[in-house]
Amino acid sequence: MYQRTIRCVLFDLGGTLWGHKDDAVILACEQAGDQLALACLRQHTGFEFFGGMDATVAGALLRREVEKSIRVKTRENPLYEPDFIQATVVALQSLGEPGVDNRLGEAIYEALRVRSADSREFFEDSLSTLDGLKRRGYLLGVVSNRHYGGKPFHEDLREMGLLDYFDYSHMAISADLGVRKPHPDIFKHALNALGALPEEAAMVGDSLRADIAGAKMLNIAAIWKPYRLHRRRHHDDETGIEPDVRIEHLRELLDMF
């Protein structure tokens, strides 16, 4: 049993509650988005933007440039989400399109979205653990760094059944709020929505730097569940950040509180 009295449990999403589907599924989702983005460019420019380049190659190039631009902007101020539309505009300009405006940038950025319902799958014990915690009366929330939020993400969560356990108003999504873990404000947003104090909350996540460090800033119980694909690279002392508890499976939470 955990030593604190916990009544609120916050979760990260990627790497904690769900992972990516297999590579072929992800590639198909990305390529579909790439072609939508190329169609937007053709409609704007009136010609084939990448000349005679193969459409699949051109779409992948466009995605890489947008993702690169976002990474550059994120590194400039890692505690806040960049302006994704402006980052897309910069990427298009770097590819040689001078007549780019925010409207086109927004259309391209949205076209490149990979929907979570199509590309993510829950770990085997995720929903059963959430169900057990909910039945015991715990307040459940989410704190997640994501580039895409808004109505489409809300729709994905509903389709995946996650809104059976979380109210969207109790989900602090960085794309919606503009602030990223480990910034305390994103954790405070979820806690305030749930009416919970930091000392009566636990944060469960796979990132030492984002989830664990952020939780410990606020005296939230920090529970680290390393993502299976990263376990060889992540060690307890890698960052000097020590979780309060380490678990291997989410179902361990049911024996902890």
pTM over 0.85: yes
- Per residue in 19-36, pLDDT tens? 999 999 999 999 999 999
Among 87, 116, 145, give the residue marking a domain's end.
116
46 has pLDDT over 80: no
Residue 1 lies in a domain: no
Among 92, 116, 140, give the residue marking a domain's end.
116
- Per residue in 138-164, pLDDT tens? 999 999 999 999 999 999 999 999 999
For residue 169, give the CATH number of its domain: 3.40.50.1000
What is the mean pLDDT of the segment spanning 238-257? Answer: 90
Q: Output the six-digit token pair for 229.
A: 């694909």
Place of tokens 């590579």: 23
Q: What is the pLDDT of residue 227?
A: 87
In this structure, are 147 and 220 located in the same domain? yes
Residue 3 lies in a domain: no
Number of structural domains (the chain) is: 2
Domain ranges, residue 225: 8-17+123-255
In this structure, are 165 and 248 located in the same domain? yes
In this structure, are 31 and 74 located in the same domain? yes
